[in-house]
Amino acid sequence: MHGGKSPQALAKAEERLRALEFPAIAAVGALIEHADSDAVRLAAARWALELLGHKAAVQVHSESETIIRLIRDDPAPLILEQRDDDE
C-alpha cells in the first residue's frame, strides 16, 4: 500500500482539483471568445452549456450563420442566434 487512498491523500487531491476550477472556467471562456477556429469556439460553448444543464443543438447554415438552440427542462426553449449577415 502506498497510501494513495488515505483520507489525507484524497483531501489533498480534492484541494488540487478545486484550485483548478476557476482557471479551467477562464480557459473555456477564453476559447469561446478568442479561439482561431469556429469549431473550437462552438465545442467550448457546447461543453460549457452542457455542464450548466442545457442540451445544445448546433446548426450551421453557412459559413456566416450559426444557430445554437438550447434545450432546457422547462417548456420554453432558449434560442440564441448568431448571424453575420452583411444585409
H helices of the chain, in order, are 7-19, 21-34, 38-51
Whole-model pTM over 0.85: no
What residues does each domain of the chain span? 7-83
pLDDT of 52 reads: 79
Per-residue pLDDT tens digits for 18-76 = 999 999 999 999 999 999 998 899 889 888 888 877 776 666 666 667 676 666 666 55
Q: Which of 70, 69, 65 is closest to 86 using CA atoms?
A: 65
Rounded CA separation 63/82 (Å): 11
| Amino acid identity at 45 | A
With vertex at residue 67, the alpha carbon angle to CA 33 and CA 24, rounded to the nearest 5 degrees, is 30
